[in-house]
């Protein structure tokens, strides 16, 4: 028996790249961009996380291993803090000296897909703070010392490398005759303070270094494209970034502009010759030809290799001729028709939207009958199967003793990321 070809069609996902302009904020507001992307990697199919692509500045350029081990990132922004009054020796209130309090709690923001406006949640928290203070020659301020390192320590009672509680040591400290660069980890929202032991006529923090941790959504549940959103922190006395009552910032706010780029993969490969489906009975045609024993059914399993990192759908957009609401085959002489059932089995890692394995899920023609699937991780060239079958109830009409004929039909199957 000869059954003519069944055609298979495929659609593949394309990720659009769009440049997004920064939001205009009032004067005296500092902005910085944080970018992250997700691209499926066949070498690490179970790594379903965004990669932070923001060029680092500040602390993580000095100690990248420390940042990598702690999954934190750092940025340096040109916000200066200048003392509005002298800092007096042994000041009673911590807020009258060098004090640092930062937003260590998780903050949530919503990022929106640039075209569909789909929302996703991002979380961020500040886990480190640093700068470089500048003042007058510290040897003169303390009235002399063995060297400048000791002079800095005398001025503030201890080294700036060793952070005051609850801040923690980070290993960074560089000093000169009148400056000291430092960076402290901030595990708590409580302020970290330094008390001046000698009068400091003026003090300037030349920039703001901060380290942050980032929690991004599961990219496998997101659409391809860019998601954008922003989070604004206040800066100044009693603000989110609070450096006391004496140190006044050059910018009253710090806005983090987030840009998440999702580049999904959907690719389907049919082995050579796989577009031609020849239906046969189990064990071949010999029992029918030699003994007249009608086969139970006719079938063919056709494998395909699928790579997918995102939700997708499958549907039949054409199958002819139809019969009884099903796809069908037609004979070449008398226009007799029989049903053709089509189903699909997915490889491990791809489930239906309820998370159930996909085994012989029926495919029917039309948009309303589309089937939807999702990967639990990046599936790379894993084998799936299309099952074609002329069911048992069609066999008596199709195969009659002494009648020779052939049936054919065309089916167009689509794998589509646009859902």
Residue 216 counted as domain residue: yes
Shared domain for 79 and 211, answered yes or no, is: yes
- Whether 384 contacts 304, CB under 8 Å: yes
Q: Are 342 and 411 in contact (CB under 8 A)?
A: yes
Residue 225, token pair as written in the block:
């494209």
- Does 409 fall in a domain? yes
Whether 348 contacts 378, CB under 8 Å: no
Distance CA 260, CA 17 (A): 11
CATH for 270: 2.60.40
Beta-carbon contacts of residue 203 (< 8 Å; ≥ 6 apart): 82, 83, 87, 98, 133, 134, 135, 246, 247
Q: Which of 262, 279, 312 delimits the end of a domain?
A: 262
Pairing of β 98-100 and β 192-194:
antiparallel
Let me know if residue 114 belongs to a domain: yes
Half-sphere exposure of 304 (CA within 13 A, CB side): 23
Say yes or no: 104 and 186 in one domain: yes
Assess whether 399 and 375 both reside in one domain: yes
**Whether residues 214 and 328 fall in one domain:** no
The upper half-sphere exposure of residue 328, i.e. CA atoms within 13 Å in the direction of its Cβ, equals 16
In a domain, 249, yes or no: yes
In a domain, 139, yes or no: yes
Same-domain status, 162 and 223:
yes
Domain count for the chain = 2
Q: Is residue 357 part of a domain?
A: yes
Of the residues 247, 262, 277, which one is the last residue of a structural domain?
Answer: 262
d(CA 299, CA 293): 17
148 and 234 assigned to the same domain: yes
Q: What is the largest CA-CA distance in the chain?
A: 118
How many angstroms separate the CA atoms of 136 and 320, rounded?
Answer: 88
Phi (first) and psi of residue 398, to 5 degrees? -80, -40
If asked whether residues 333 and 309 sit together in one domain, one would say yes
- Say whether the peptide bond before residue 115 is cis (omega within 30 degrees of 0): no
Residue 108 lies in a domain: yes
Return per-residue pLDDT of the chain as tens, 419 residues. Answer: 333 333 333 343 222 222 222 333 334 689 999 999 999 988 888 888 999 999 999 999 988 998 998 889 999 999 999 999 999 999 999 999 999 999 999 999 999 999 999 999 999 999 999 999 999 999 999 999 999 999 999 999 999 999 999 999 998 899 999 999 999 999 999 999 999 999 999 999 999 999 999 999 999 989 999 999 999 999 999 999 999 999 999 999 999 999 999 999 999 999 998 889 999 888 788 777 766 678 888 999 999 999 999 999 999 998 877 788 889 999 877 788 899 999 999 999 999 999 999 999 999 998 899 999 999 999 999 999 999 999 998 888 887 766 767 889 999 999 998 77
Same domain assignment for residues 256 and 277 = no
For residues 313 and 377, membership in a common domain is answered with: yes
Residue 15 lies in a domain: no
Q: Which residue, of 231, 262, 293, is where some domain finishes? A: 262
Nearest in space to 222 (alpha carbons), one of 44, 357, 37, 415: 37
End-to-end CA distance of the chain: 39
Name the token pair of 405.
């004929």
Tokens 């659609």, residue located: 11
Sign of the CA dihedral with 87 first, then 88, 93, and 99 last: positive
* Residues 343, 360: Cα–Cα separation, whole Å: 5
Token duo for residue 183 = 């960076």
Query: Domain range for residue 346?
Result: 266-416
Q: Are residues 211 and 339 in the same domain?
A: no
> Is residue 278 located within the same domain as residue 313?
yes
Residue partners of 235: CB distance under 8 A and separation at least 6 = 30, 79, 208, 241, 249, 251, 252, 253, 254
382, two tokens: 């894993």
Sign of the four-CA dihedral 351, 353, 355, 356? negative
Q: How far apart are CA 151 and CA 334, in angstroms?
A: 105
Sheet holding 312-320, edge to edge: 350-352, 371-375, 312-320, 410-416
* Residue 57 shares a structural domain with residue 106: yes
Paired sense of beta strands 312-320 and 410-416, if any: antiparallel
């Amino acid at each position: 028996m000869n059954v003519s070809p069944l055609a298979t069609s495929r659609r593949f996902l394309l990720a659009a790249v769009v440049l997004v302009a920064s939001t205009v904020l009032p004067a005296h507001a500092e902005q910085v961009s944080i970018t992250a992307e997700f691209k499926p990697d066949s070498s690490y199919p179970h790594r379903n996380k965004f990669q932070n692509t923001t060029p680092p500045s500040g602390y993580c350029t000095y100690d990248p291993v420390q940042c990598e081990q702690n999954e934190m990132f750092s940025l340096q922004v040109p916000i200066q803090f200048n003392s509005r009054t002298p800092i007096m020796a042994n000041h009673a209130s911590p807020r009258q000296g060098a004090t640092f309090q930062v937003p260590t709690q998780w903050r949530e923001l919503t990022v929106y897909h640039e075209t569909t406006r789909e929302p996703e949640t991002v979380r961020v928290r500040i886990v480190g703070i640093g700068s470089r203070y500048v003042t007058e020659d510290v040897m003169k301020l303390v009235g002399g010392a063995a060297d400048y390192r000791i002079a800095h320590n005398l001025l503030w009672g201890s080294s700036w490398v060793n952070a005051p509680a609850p801040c923690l040591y980070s290993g960074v400290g560089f000093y000169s005759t009148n400056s000291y660069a430092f960076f402290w980890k901030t595990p708590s929202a409580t302020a970290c303070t330094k008390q001046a032991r000698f009068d400091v006529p003026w003090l300037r923090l030349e920039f703001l270094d901060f380290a942050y941790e980032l929690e991004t959504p599961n990219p496998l549940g997101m659409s391809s494209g860019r998601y954008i959103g922003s989070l604004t922190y206040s800066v100044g006395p009693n603000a989110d970034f609070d450096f006391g009552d004496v140190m006044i910032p050059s910018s009253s706010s710090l806005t983090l502009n987030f840009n998440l780029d999702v580049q999904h993969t959907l690719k389907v490969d049919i082995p050579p010759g796989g577009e031609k489906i020849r239906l046969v009975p189990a064990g071949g045609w010999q029992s029918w030809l030699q003994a007249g024993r009608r086969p139970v059914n006719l079938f063919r399993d056709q494998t395909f290799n699928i790579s997918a990192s995102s939700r997708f759908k499958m549907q039949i957009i054409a199958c002819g001729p139809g019969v009884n609401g099903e796809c069908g085959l037609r004979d070449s002489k008398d226009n007799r028709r029989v049903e053709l059932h089509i189903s699909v089995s997915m490889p491990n890692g791809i489930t239906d939207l309820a998370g159930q394995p996909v085994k012989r899920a029926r495919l029917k023609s039309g948009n309303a009958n589309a089937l939807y699937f999702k990967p639990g991780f990046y599936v790379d060239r894993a084998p799936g199967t299309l099952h074609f079958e002329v069911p048992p109830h069609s066999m008596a009409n199709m195969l009659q003793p002494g009648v020779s004929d052939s049936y054919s039909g065309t089916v167009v199957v689509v794998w589509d990321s646009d859902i």
